Protein backbone atom coordinates (compact mmCIF):
# COMPACT_ATOMS: atom_id res chain seq x y z
CA UNK A 1 0.00 0.00 0.00
CA UNK A 2 1.25 3.50 -0.83
CA UNK A 3 2.18 5.31 2.40
CA UNK A 4 3.13 8.51 0.53
CA UNK A 5 -0.35 10.08 0.57
CA UNK A 6 -2.84 11.63 2.97
CA UNK A 7 -4.25 9.50 5.80
CA UNK A 8 -7.78 9.53 4.38
CA UNK A 9 -6.54 8.52 0.93
CA UNK A 10 -4.56 5.72 2.57
CA UNK A 11 -7.57 4.60 4.59
CA UNK A 12 -9.77 4.77 1.49
CA UNK A 13 -7.45 2.34 -0.30
CA UNK A 14 -8.23 -0.19 2.44
CA UNK A 15 -12.00 0.38 2.34
CA UNK A 16 -12.87 -2.12 -0.39
CA UNK A 17 -16.20 -3.37 0.95
CA UNK A 18 -18.75 -0.59 1.36
CA UNK A 19 -21.03 -2.81 3.47
CA UNK A 20 -18.39 -3.78 5.99
CA UNK A 21 -18.67 -2.06 9.39
CA UNK A 22 -15.67 0.12 10.24
CA UNK A 23 -16.86 2.03 13.33
CA UNK A 24 -19.17 1.22 16.26
CA UNK A 25 -20.42 3.51 18.98
CA UNK A 26 -23.13 2.19 21.32
CA UNK A 27 -26.27 1.72 19.18
CA UNK A 28 -24.67 3.31 16.10
CA UNK A 29 -22.54 1.54 13.52
CA UNK A 30 -21.03 2.88 10.31
CA UNK A 31 -20.21 0.89 7.20
CA UNK A 32 -17.19 1.84 5.13
CA UNK A 33 -19.51 3.56 2.63
CA UNK A 34 -21.30 5.53 5.39
CA UNK A 35 -18.04 6.46 7.06
CA UNK A 36 -16.52 7.75 3.81
CA UNK A 37 -19.68 9.71 2.94
CA UNK A 38 -19.77 11.45 6.35
CA UNK A 39 -16.05 12.26 6.18
CA UNK A 40 -16.50 13.90 2.77
CA UNK A 41 -19.58 15.83 3.94
CA UNK A 42 -17.56 17.09 6.91
CA UNK A 43 -14.82 18.03 4.46
CA UNK A 44 -17.49 19.81 2.41
CA UNK A 45 -18.39 21.87 5.48
CA UNK A 46 -14.74 22.86 5.88
CA UNK A 47 -14.47 23.92 2.23
CA UNK A 48 -17.76 25.83 2.37
CA UNK A 49 -16.55 27.86 5.35
CA UNK A 50 -13.08 28.58 3.99
CA UNK A 51 -11.07 26.02 5.97
CA UNK A 52 -9.66 23.99 3.10
CA UNK A 53 -6.03 23.15 3.91
CA UNK A 54 -6.33 24.68 7.38
CA UNK A 55 -5.62 23.54 10.92
CA UNK A 56 -8.82 21.88 12.18
CA UNK A 57 -9.22 21.94 15.96
CA UNK A 58 -10.69 18.77 17.47
CA UNK A 59 -11.45 18.92 21.19
CA UNK A 60 -13.47 15.76 21.65
CA UNK A 61 -13.50 12.52 23.63
CA UNK A 62 -13.77 9.22 21.75
CA UNK A 63 -16.89 9.68 19.62
CA UNK A 64 -17.64 9.29 15.89
CA UNK A 65 -17.40 13.02 15.20
CA UNK A 66 -13.73 12.95 16.25
CA UNK A 67 -12.93 10.34 13.60
CA UNK A 68 -14.93 12.19 10.94
CA UNK A 69 -13.17 15.47 11.74
CA UNK A 70 -9.68 13.91 11.70
CA UNK A 71 -10.11 12.30 8.30
CA UNK A 72 -12.05 15.23 6.80
CA UNK A 73 -9.13 17.56 7.50
CA UNK A 74 -6.91 15.16 5.53
CA UNK A 75 -9.45 14.91 2.71
CA UNK A 76 -9.04 18.64 1.96
CA UNK A 77 -5.32 19.02 2.62
CA UNK A 78 -5.58 20.21 6.22
CA UNK A 79 -4.21 19.03 9.54
CA UNK A 80 -6.05 17.62 12.58
CA UNK A 81 -5.18 19.70 15.64
CA UNK A 82 -5.92 17.27 18.50
CA UNK A 83 -6.68 18.99 21.80
CA UNK A 84 -7.31 17.46 25.21
CA UNK A 85 -10.91 18.32 26.28
CA UNK A 86 -9.76 18.82 29.87
CA UNK A 87 -7.52 21.78 29.11
CA UNK A 88 -8.41 25.18 30.63
CA UNK A 89 -9.34 28.15 28.43
CA UNK A 90 -5.95 29.84 28.79
CA UNK A 91 -4.16 26.77 27.41
CA UNK A 92 -6.75 26.34 24.68
CA UNK A 93 -6.20 29.94 23.61
CA UNK A 94 -2.44 29.41 23.49
CA UNK A 95 -2.82 26.31 21.31
CA UNK A 96 -5.36 27.83 18.92
CA UNK A 97 -3.21 30.93 18.48
CA UNK A 98 0.05 29.04 17.97
CA UNK A 99 -1.53 26.70 15.40
CA UNK A 100 -3.55 29.45 13.68
CA UNK A 101 -6.72 27.40 14.14
CA UNK A 102 -10.00 29.10 13.23
CA UNK A 103 -12.43 26.16 13.36
CA UNK A 104 -13.00 23.86 16.32
CA UNK A 105 -15.03 20.68 16.75
CA UNK A 106 -15.94 20.96 20.43
CA UNK A 107 -17.57 18.65 22.97
CA UNK A 108 -20.86 20.47 23.57
CA UNK A 109 -20.63 20.35 27.36
CA UNK A 110 -17.53 22.55 27.15
CA UNK A 111 -19.15 25.42 25.26
CA UNK A 112 -20.06 27.49 28.34
CA UNK A 113 -16.51 27.14 29.68
CA UNK A 114 -14.81 28.34 26.50
CA UNK A 115 -17.47 30.47 24.75
CA UNK A 116 -15.95 33.86 25.57
CA UNK A 117 -12.45 32.75 24.51
CA UNK A 118 -13.64 31.25 21.22
CA UNK A 119 -15.83 34.26 20.43
CA UNK A 120 -12.98 36.68 21.12
CA UNK A 121 -10.61 34.69 18.91
CA UNK A 122 -13.18 34.46 16.13
CA UNK A 123 -13.06 30.65 16.07
CA UNK A 124 -15.98 29.00 14.28
CA UNK A 125 -17.27 26.26 16.55
CA UNK A 126 -19.03 23.01 15.70
CA UNK A 127 -20.63 21.50 18.78
CA UNK A 128 -20.64 17.70 19.01
CA UNK A 129 -22.89 15.84 21.43
CA UNK A 130 -22.18 12.30 22.67
CA UNK A 131 -25.95 11.76 22.41
CA UNK A 132 -26.36 12.55 18.72
CA UNK A 133 -25.50 9.13 17.32
CA UNK A 134 -27.21 7.22 20.13
CA UNK A 135 -30.65 6.49 18.73
CA UNK A 136 -32.10 5.66 22.12
CA UNK A 137 -31.11 9.12 23.41
CA UNK A 138 -32.21 11.29 20.46
CA UNK A 139 -34.95 13.01 22.48
CA UNK A 140 -32.52 13.89 25.25
CA UNK A 141 -30.13 15.24 22.61
CA UNK A 142 -32.81 17.59 21.27
CA UNK A 143 -33.69 18.79 24.76
CA UNK A 144 -30.07 19.57 25.68
CA UNK A 145 -29.11 21.48 22.53
CA UNK A 146 -27.71 24.94 23.21
CA UNK A 147 -29.96 27.66 21.82
CA UNK A 148 -27.21 29.99 20.65
CA UNK A 149 -25.64 30.99 17.37
CA UNK A 150 -23.43 27.92 17.02
CA UNK A 151 -23.31 25.07 14.53
CA UNK A 152 -24.06 21.51 15.52
CA UNK A 153 -22.53 18.51 13.82
CA UNK A 154 -25.93 17.43 12.49
CA UNK A 155 -25.84 20.44 10.12
CA UNK A 156 -22.76 18.97 8.47
CA UNK A 157 -24.73 16.00 7.25
CA UNK A 158 -26.68 18.38 4.99
CA UNK A 159 -23.49 19.63 3.29
CA UNK A 160 -22.46 18.62 -0.20
CA UNK A 161 -19.49 16.23 -0.05
CA UNK A 162 -16.07 17.56 -0.97
CA UNK A 163 -13.85 16.04 -3.62
CA UNK A 164 -11.24 13.91 -1.88
CA UNK A 165 -7.63 15.02 -2.24
CA UNK A 166 -4.98 12.30 -2.15
CA UNK A 167 -2.30 14.63 -0.83
CA UNK A 168 1.30 13.67 -0.19
CA UNK A 169 3.00 11.85 2.65
CA UNK A 170 5.06 14.82 3.79
CA UNK A 171 1.95 16.90 4.51
CA UNK A 172 1.19 17.39 8.23
CA UNK A 173 -1.63 15.05 9.27
CA UNK A 174 -1.84 15.81 12.99
CA UNK A 175 -0.73 18.25 15.66
CA UNK A 176 -0.35 16.48 19.01
CA UNK A 177 0.40 18.55 22.10
CA UNK A 178 3.03 17.12 24.41
CA UNK A 179 5.55 17.97 27.07
CA UNK A 180 8.24 17.07 24.53
CA UNK A 181 11.33 15.06 25.41
CA UNK A 182 12.51 17.98 27.57
CA UNK A 183 9.28 18.53 29.51
CA UNK A 184 8.47 21.91 27.92
CA UNK A 185 5.09 22.31 26.13
CA UNK A 186 5.49 21.35 22.47
CA UNK A 187 3.27 20.82 19.45
CA UNK A 188 4.45 17.66 17.70
CA UNK A 189 3.89 17.61 13.93
CA UNK A 190 3.10 14.12 12.62
CA UNK A 191 3.09 13.68 8.85
CA UNK A 192 0.66 11.55 6.87
CA UNK A 193 3.50 9.28 5.84
CA UNK A 194 4.46 8.74 9.48
CA UNK A 195 0.95 7.58 10.42
CA UNK A 196 0.59 5.41 7.31
CA UNK A 197 4.02 3.84 7.79
CA UNK A 198 3.20 3.20 11.45
CA UNK A 199 0.12 1.23 10.40
CA UNK A 200 2.20 -0.91 8.07
CA UNK A 201 5.00 -1.44 10.61
CA UNK A 202 2.64 -2.42 13.45
CA UNK A 203 0.57 -4.88 11.43
CA UNK A 204 3.52 -6.62 9.78
CA UNK A 205 5.25 -6.91 13.16
CA UNK A 206 2.39 -8.29 15.24
CA UNK A 207 0.52 -10.12 12.46
CA UNK A 208 3.30 -11.39 10.13
CA UNK A 209 0.67 -13.55 8.46
CA UNK A 210 -2.15 -11.15 7.44
CA UNK A 211 -4.59 -14.06 7.17
CA UNK A 212 -4.56 -14.26 10.98
CA UNK A 213 -6.37 -10.90 11.18
CA UNK A 214 -10.05 -11.81 11.57
CA UNK A 215 -12.47 -10.25 9.10
CA UNK A 216 -14.89 -9.41 11.92
CA UNK A 217 -12.18 -8.29 14.36
CA UNK A 218 -12.52 -5.21 16.53
CA UNK A 219 -10.32 -2.91 18.62
CA UNK A 220 -11.79 -1.50 21.83
CA UNK A 221 -10.65 2.13 21.71
CA UNK A 222 -10.04 2.90 25.38
CA UNK A 223 -7.22 5.35 24.72
CA UNK A 224 -8.19 8.96 23.94
CA UNK A 225 -7.97 9.93 20.28
CA UNK A 226 -6.14 13.18 21.13
CA UNK A 227 -3.13 11.14 22.29
CA UNK A 228 -0.54 9.64 19.92
CA UNK A 229 -1.17 6.09 21.14
CA UNK A 230 -4.91 6.50 20.61
CA UNK A 231 -4.61 8.15 17.20
CA UNK A 232 -1.77 6.06 15.79
CA UNK A 233 -2.79 2.61 17.01
CA UNK A 234 -6.39 2.46 18.25
CA UNK A 235 -7.70 4.68 15.43
CA UNK A 236 -5.66 4.79 12.20
CA UNK A 237 -3.94 1.40 12.32
CA UNK A 238 -7.15 -0.39 13.26
CA UNK A 239 -9.54 1.45 10.93
CA UNK A 240 -7.41 0.24 8.02
CA UNK A 241 -8.02 -3.39 8.96
CA UNK A 242 -10.89 -4.09 11.37
CA UNK A 243 -13.64 -2.33 13.36
CA UNK A 244 -13.01 0.49 15.81
CA UNK A 245 -15.26 0.30 18.89
CA UNK A 246 -15.24 3.65 20.67
CA UNK A 247 -15.46 4.03 24.44
CA UNK A 248 -15.74 7.78 25.22
CA UNK A 249 -14.12 7.56 28.66
CA UNK A 250 -12.48 4.45 30.04
CA UNK A 251 -14.51 2.72 32.75
CA UNK A 252 -13.52 -0.88 33.55
CA UNK A 253 -17.05 -2.27 33.92
CA UNK A 254 -18.21 -0.56 30.72
CA UNK A 255 -15.09 -1.78 28.90
CA UNK A 256 -15.79 -5.35 30.04
CA UNK A 257 -19.36 -5.09 28.75
CA UNK A 258 -18.23 -3.73 25.39
CA UNK A 259 -15.65 -6.50 24.98
CA UNK A 260 -18.47 -9.01 25.16
CA UNK A 261 -21.05 -7.10 23.11
CA UNK A 262 -18.77 -6.16 20.20
CA UNK A 263 -16.65 -9.35 20.10
CA UNK A 264 -13.42 -7.43 20.71
CA UNK A 265 -10.24 -9.07 19.40
CA UNK A 266 -7.66 -6.31 19.99
CA UNK A 267 -6.97 -3.95 22.89
CA UNK A 268 -4.49 -1.17 23.57
CA UNK A 269 -4.06 0.71 26.82
CA UNK A 270 -1.82 1.84 29.65
CA UNK A 271 -0.97 -0.20 32.79
CA UNK A 272 -3.59 1.47 35.01
CA UNK A 273 -6.34 0.40 32.58
CA UNK A 274 -5.24 -3.22 32.59
CA UNK A 275 -4.91 -3.18 36.37
CA UNK A 276 -8.51 -2.01 36.73
CA UNK A 277 -9.76 -4.54 34.19
CA UNK A 278 -7.99 -7.38 35.98
CA UNK A 279 -9.75 -6.32 39.19
CA UNK A 280 -13.15 -5.99 37.47
CA UNK A 281 -15.50 -8.90 38.15
CA UNK A 282 -17.31 -8.39 34.84
CA UNK A 283 -14.04 -8.92 32.96
CA UNK A 284 -14.49 -12.67 32.66
CA UNK A 285 -16.26 -15.34 30.66
CA UNK A 286 -15.95 -16.97 27.27
CA UNK A 287 -15.90 -13.63 25.40
CA UNK A 288 -12.29 -13.17 26.52
CA UNK A 289 -11.31 -16.09 24.28
CA UNK A 290 -11.84 -13.78 21.28
CA UNK A 291 -9.03 -11.46 22.37
CA UNK A 292 -5.95 -11.99 20.16
CA UNK A 293 -3.64 -9.04 20.82
CA UNK A 294 -3.27 -6.77 23.85
CA UNK A 295 -0.82 -3.85 23.63
CA UNK A 296 0.42 -1.87 26.61
CA UNK A 297 2.53 1.28 26.69
CA UNK A 298 2.72 4.74 28.20
CA UNK A 299 4.15 3.62 31.53
CA UNK A 300 6.00 0.75 33.19
CA UNK A 301 3.89 -2.41 33.45
CA UNK A 302 4.40 -4.32 36.68
CA UNK A 303 4.80 -8.09 36.60
CA UNK A 304 1.88 -8.38 39.02
CA UNK A 305 -0.54 -6.50 36.76
CA UNK A 306 0.56 -8.47 33.69
CA UNK A 307 0.15 -11.79 35.48
CA UNK A 308 -3.27 -10.84 36.87
CA UNK A 309 -4.57 -9.73 33.47
CA UNK A 310 -3.07 -12.62 31.52
CA UNK A 311 -4.49 -15.08 34.08
CA UNK A 312 -8.00 -13.78 33.44
CA UNK A 313 -7.59 -14.39 29.72
CA UNK A 314 -6.16 -17.86 30.34
CA UNK A 315 -8.97 -18.76 32.76
CA UNK A 316 -11.46 -17.98 29.99
CA UNK A 317 -9.66 -20.33 27.62
CA UNK A 318 -7.85 -17.57 25.72
CA UNK A 319 -4.22 -17.44 24.62
CA UNK A 320 -3.58 -13.68 24.43
CA UNK A 321 -1.16 -11.92 26.76
CA UNK A 322 -0.19 -8.32 27.28
CA UNK A 323 2.51 -7.27 24.82
CA UNK A 324 4.38 -4.39 26.40
CA UNK A 325 5.92 -1.77 24.12
CA UNK A 326 7.71 1.57 24.10
CA UNK A 327 6.92 4.73 22.23
CA UNK A 328 6.64 8.51 22.32
CA UNK A 329 4.39 11.21 20.96
CA UNK A 330 7.33 12.18 18.74
CA UNK A 331 7.03 8.79 17.00
CA UNK A 332 3.22 8.82 16.77
CA UNK A 333 3.31 6.18 19.54
CA UNK A 334 4.90 2.73 19.21
CA UNK A 335 8.60 2.10 18.46
CA UNK A 336 9.13 -1.33 20.03
CA UNK A 337 6.85 -4.17 21.13
CA UNK A 338 7.31 -7.63 22.59
CA UNK A 339 6.92 -10.33 19.94
CA UNK A 340 3.97 -12.69 20.17
CA UNK A 341 5.07 -15.82 22.02
CA UNK A 342 8.49 -14.38 22.86
CA UNK A 343 7.85 -11.76 25.55
CA UNK A 344 10.54 -11.01 28.13
CA UNK A 345 9.73 -9.91 31.65
CA UNK A 346 10.44 -6.25 32.26
CA UNK A 347 11.18 -5.58 28.60
CA UNK A 348 9.52 -3.22 26.13
CA UNK A 349 10.35 -5.61 23.28
CA UNK A 350 12.14 -5.21 19.97
CA UNK A 351 11.82 -2.54 17.25
CA UNK A 352 8.90 -2.68 14.84
CA UNK A 353 9.78 -3.46 11.24
CA UNK A 354 11.77 -0.52 9.85
CA UNK A 355 12.66 0.92 13.26
CA UNK A 356 16.04 1.03 15.06
CA UNK A 357 17.13 1.79 18.62
CA UNK A 358 20.47 2.42 20.29
CA UNK A 359 21.75 3.41 23.71
CA UNK A 360 24.17 6.34 23.96
CA UNK A 361 26.16 8.32 26.49
CA UNK A 362 27.71 11.65 25.52
CA UNK A 363 26.96 10.85 21.88
CA UNK A 364 28.75 7.49 21.84
CA UNK A 365 26.83 4.25 21.29
CA UNK A 366 27.04 1.82 24.19
CA UNK A 367 27.31 -1.98 23.98
CA UNK A 368 24.44 -4.30 25.01
CA UNK A 369 23.72 -4.32 28.73
CA UNK A 370 24.94 -0.81 29.50
CA UNK A 371 22.51 1.89 30.58
CA UNK A 372 22.26 5.25 28.82
CA UNK A 373 19.93 7.48 26.82
CA UNK A 374 17.57 5.74 24.41
CA UNK A 375 17.78 7.01 20.83
CA UNK A 376 15.32 5.84 18.17
CA UNK A 377 15.01 5.93 14.41
CA UNK A 378 11.41 5.21 13.43
CA UNK A 379 9.34 5.11 10.25
CA UNK A 380 6.79 7.20 12.15
CA UNK A 381 9.20 9.87 13.41
CA UNK A 382 7.74 13.35 13.73
CA UNK A 383 8.50 16.10 11.23
CA UNK A 384 9.49 18.30 14.17
CA UNK A 385 8.06 20.67 16.78
CA UNK A 386 5.75 23.29 15.28
CA UNK A 387 7.40 26.70 15.07
CA UNK A 388 10.41 25.54 17.09
CA UNK A 389 13.38 24.69 14.85
CA UNK A 390 15.82 25.09 17.75
CA UNK A 391 13.88 22.67 19.93
CA UNK A 392 13.66 20.23 17.04
CA UNK A 393 17.40 20.45 16.39
CA UNK A 394 18.13 19.64 20.03
CA UNK A 395 16.41 16.26 19.84
CA UNK A 396 16.71 15.24 16.16
CA UNK A 397 19.84 14.72 14.09
CA UNK A 398 20.95 12.85 10.97
CA UNK A 399 23.97 10.59 11.20
CA UNK A 400 26.69 10.21 8.49
CA UNK A 401 24.73 7.30 6.98
CA UNK A 402 21.72 9.54 6.42
CA UNK A 403 19.63 8.00 9.23
CA UNK A 404 17.56 10.43 11.32
CA UNK A 405 17.57 9.81 15.07
CA UNK A 406 15.56 11.14 18.01
CA UNK A 407 17.17 11.71 21.40
CA UNK A 408 14.30 10.57 23.62
CA UNK A 409 15.40 11.83 27.01
CA UNK A 410 14.65 8.33 28.36
CA UNK A 411 17.09 6.03 30.13
CA UNK A 412 17.34 2.34 29.32
CA UNK A 413 19.42 -0.53 28.01
CA UNK A 414 19.29 -3.10 25.23
CA UNK A 415 20.20 -6.76 25.73
CA UNK A 416 22.24 -8.92 23.37
CA UNK A 417 19.08 -9.96 21.49
CA UNK A 418 17.91 -6.40 20.89
CA UNK A 419 15.19 -6.25 23.57
CA UNK A 420 14.74 -2.79 25.11
CA UNK A 421 14.49 -2.24 28.88
CA UNK A 422 13.19 1.19 29.88
CA UNK A 423 14.35 2.62 33.22
CA UNK A 424 13.15 6.20 33.56
CA UNK A 425 12.69 9.60 32.01
CA UNK A 426 16.06 11.35 32.10
CA UNK A 427 14.47 14.45 33.57
CA UNK A 428 12.72 12.41 36.28
CA UNK A 429 15.72 10.44 37.52
CA UNK A 430 17.79 11.76 40.40
CA UNK A 431 21.07 11.04 42.11
CA UNK A 432 21.31 10.26 45.81
CA UNK A 433 24.85 9.88 47.15
CA UNK A 434 26.02 9.93 43.51
CA UNK A 435 23.82 6.88 42.75
CA UNK A 436 21.11 7.00 40.04
CA UNK A 437 17.63 6.46 41.48
CA UNK A 438 14.62 5.81 39.27
CA UNK A 439 11.22 6.74 40.77
CA UNK A 440 9.28 4.38 38.48
CA UNK A 441 11.24 1.41 39.89
CA UNK A 442 10.28 2.49 43.41
CA UNK A 443 6.62 2.70 42.38
CA UNK A 444 6.71 -0.77 40.82
CA UNK A 445 8.20 -2.34 43.94
CA UNK A 446 5.88 -0.50 46.33
CA UNK A 447 2.86 -1.74 44.35
CA UNK A 448 3.88 -5.35 45.08
CA UNK A 449 3.63 -4.85 48.85
CA UNK A 450 0.49 -6.37 50.35
CA UNK A 451 -1.94 -3.60 51.25
CA UNK A 452 -0.73 -1.19 48.55
CA UNK A 453 -2.82 -0.72 45.40
CA UNK A 454 -0.69 2.00 43.79
CA UNK A 455 2.09 4.49 44.41
CA UNK A 456 3.74 7.63 43.04
CA UNK A 457 7.36 8.48 43.84
CA UNK A 458 7.93 12.23 43.75
CA UNK A 459 11.23 14.08 43.59
CA UNK A 460 11.61 16.51 46.49
CA UNK A 461 14.44 18.78 47.67
CA UNK A 462 15.42 19.35 51.30
CA UNK A 463 16.44 22.69 52.81
CA UNK A 464 20.05 22.06 51.79
CA UNK A 465 19.08 21.62 48.14
CA UNK A 466 19.64 17.86 48.10
CA UNK A 467 17.08 15.67 46.29
CA UNK A 468 15.19 12.82 47.93
CA UNK A 469 12.10 10.71 47.26
CA UNK A 470 8.69 11.10 48.86
CA UNK A 471 6.22 8.30 48.17
CA UNK A 472 2.46 8.83 47.88
CA UNK A 473 0.57 5.59 48.45
CA UNK A 474 -2.97 4.50 47.65
CA UNK A 475 -3.81 1.58 49.93
CA UNK A 476 -6.22 -1.26 49.41
CA UNK A 477 -9.76 -0.59 50.59
CA UNK A 478 -9.96 -0.36 54.37
CA UNK A 479 -6.20 -0.47 54.92
CA UNK A 480 -4.47 2.32 56.79
CA UNK A 481 -0.90 3.37 56.09
CA UNK A 482 0.44 2.50 59.53
CA UNK A 483 4.00 2.11 60.70
CA UNK A 484 4.13 -1.58 59.75
CA UNK A 485 3.03 -0.95 56.17
CA UNK A 486 5.55 1.88 55.81
CA UNK A 487 8.31 -0.41 57.03
CA UNK A 488 7.18 -3.16 54.66
CA UNK A 489 7.44 -0.71 51.75
CA UNK A 490 10.87 0.55 52.79
CA UNK A 491 12.19 -2.97 53.33
CA UNK A 492 10.90 -4.10 49.93
CA UNK A 493 12.53 -1.14 48.16
CA UNK A 494 15.82 -1.66 50.01
CA UNK A 495 15.87 -5.39 49.23
CA UNK A 496 14.78 -5.26 45.59
CA UNK A 497 16.46 -2.02 44.47
CA UNK A 498 18.94 -0.53 46.97
CA UNK A 499 18.94 1.46 50.18
CA UNK A 500 19.49 4.78 48.36
CA UNK A 501 16.11 4.32 46.69
CA UNK A 502 14.20 4.00 49.96
CA UNK A 503 11.71 6.90 50.19
CA UNK A 504 12.44 9.33 53.01
CA UNK A 505 8.75 10.06 53.53
CA UNK A 506 5.59 8.07 52.77
CA UNK A 507 2.11 9.57 52.67
CA UNK A 508 -1.33 8.08 52.17
CA UNK A 509 -3.75 9.43 49.55
CA UNK A 510 -7.37 8.45 49.08
CA UNK A 511 -6.96 8.04 45.32
CA UNK A 512 -3.91 8.63 43.15
CA UNK A 513 -4.20 11.42 40.61
CA UNK A 514 -3.87 10.32 36.97
CA UNK A 515 -3.31 12.18 33.72
CA UNK A 516 -6.01 11.89 31.00
CA UNK A 517 -4.05 9.11 29.29
CA UNK A 518 -4.00 7.05 32.49
CA UNK A 519 -0.47 7.65 33.81
CA UNK A 520 0.12 8.56 37.44
CA UNK A 521 0.51 12.34 37.47
CA UNK A 522 3.95 12.55 39.10
CA UNK A 523 4.33 16.21 38.14
CA UNK A 524 1.35 17.02 40.35
CA UNK A 525 2.91 15.25 43.34
CA UNK A 526 6.27 16.90 42.73
CA UNK A 527 4.61 20.34 42.71
CA UNK A 528 2.50 20.09 45.86
CA UNK A 529 3.74 20.94 49.34
CA UNK A 530 4.38 18.10 51.72
CA UNK A 531 1.85 17.51 54.50
CA UNK A 532 2.86 18.94 57.86
CA UNK A 533 2.58 15.53 59.47
CA UNK A 534 3.74 12.19 58.09
CA UNK A 535 0.40 10.38 58.29
pLDDT in tens, 179-235: 555 556 799 999 999 999 999 999 999 999 989 999 999 999 999 999 999 999 999
Are 323 and 206 contacting, i.e. CB atoms less than 8 angstroms apart? yes
Q: Answer left, alpha or beta for residue 402, where phi above 0 means left and psi between -120 and 50 means alpha.
A: left
Write phi, then psi, for 484 (nearest 5 degrees): -65, -45
Taking the C-alpha atoms of residue 159 and residue 197, their distance in angstroms, rounded to an integer, is 32
Model confidence over 79-127: pLDDT tens digits? 999 999 988 898 899 999 999 999 999 999 999 999 999 999 999 999 9
Sign of CA dihedral 191, 197, 199, 205: negative
CATH class, 348-425 region: mainly beta
Q: What is the pLDDT at residue 292?
A: 96
Q: In angstroms, rounded to a whole number, what is the distance separating the alpha carbons of residues 59 and 441? A: 34
Question: What single string gives the DSSP state of each residue in 117-177?
Answer: HHHHHT-EEEEE-TTTT-GGGHHHHHHH---SS-EEHHHHTTSPPPPPP---TTSEEEEEE
So what's the pLDDT on residue 151? 93
Instruction: State the Rg of the chain over Cα.
Output: 23
**pLDDT exceeds cutoff 50 at 31:** yes
Rounded distance, CA 134 to CA 246, Å? 13
Given a contact cutoff of 8 angstroms between Cβ atoms, the answer to whether 229 and 334 are in contact is: yes
Q: What stretch(es) of the chain map to CATH 3.40.50.980?
A: 27-168
How far is the C-alpha of 314 from the C-alpha of 264, rounded, in Å?
Answer: 16
Cβ–Cβ under 8 Å, residues 113 and 89: yes
CATH architecture of structural domain 27-168 = 3-Layer(aba) Sandwich (3.40)
> In CATH terms, is domain 430-527 a member of 3.30.450.70?
no
Q: Model pTM?
A: 0.85
Where in the chain is CATH 2.30.38.10? 348-425
| Better-scored residue on pLDDT, 74 or 147 | 74
Specify the pLDDT at position 535: 41
pLDDT digits (tens, 9 = 90+) for 408-467: 999 999 999 999 999 877 777 777 866 778 888 899 899 999 999 999 999 888 888 788
Average pLDDT over the chain, rounded to an integer: 93
- In the chain, residues under CATH classification 3.30.300.30 are 430-527
Tell the burial category of 96 from Cβ atoms under 10 Å away from its Cβ (0-12, 13-18, 19+).
Answer: buried
Report the alpha-carbon distance of residue 73 to residue 331 in Å, rounded. Answer: 21
Amino acid sequence: MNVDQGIFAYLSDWMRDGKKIILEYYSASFTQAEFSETVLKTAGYLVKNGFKGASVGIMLPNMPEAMFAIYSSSAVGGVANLINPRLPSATLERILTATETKVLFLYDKLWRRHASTLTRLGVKTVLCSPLYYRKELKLLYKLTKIKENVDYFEEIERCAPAVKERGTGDMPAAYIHSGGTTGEPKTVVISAKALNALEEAVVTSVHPDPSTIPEDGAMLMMLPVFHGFGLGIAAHTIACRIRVVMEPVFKPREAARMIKKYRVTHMAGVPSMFKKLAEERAFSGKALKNIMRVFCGGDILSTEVKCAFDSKIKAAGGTAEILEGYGLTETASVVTVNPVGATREGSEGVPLNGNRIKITRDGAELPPGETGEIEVSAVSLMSGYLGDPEGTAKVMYTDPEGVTWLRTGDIGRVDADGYLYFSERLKRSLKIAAINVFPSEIEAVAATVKGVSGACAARKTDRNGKPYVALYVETERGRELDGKLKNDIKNAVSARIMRYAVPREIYQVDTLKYTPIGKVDYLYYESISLPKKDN
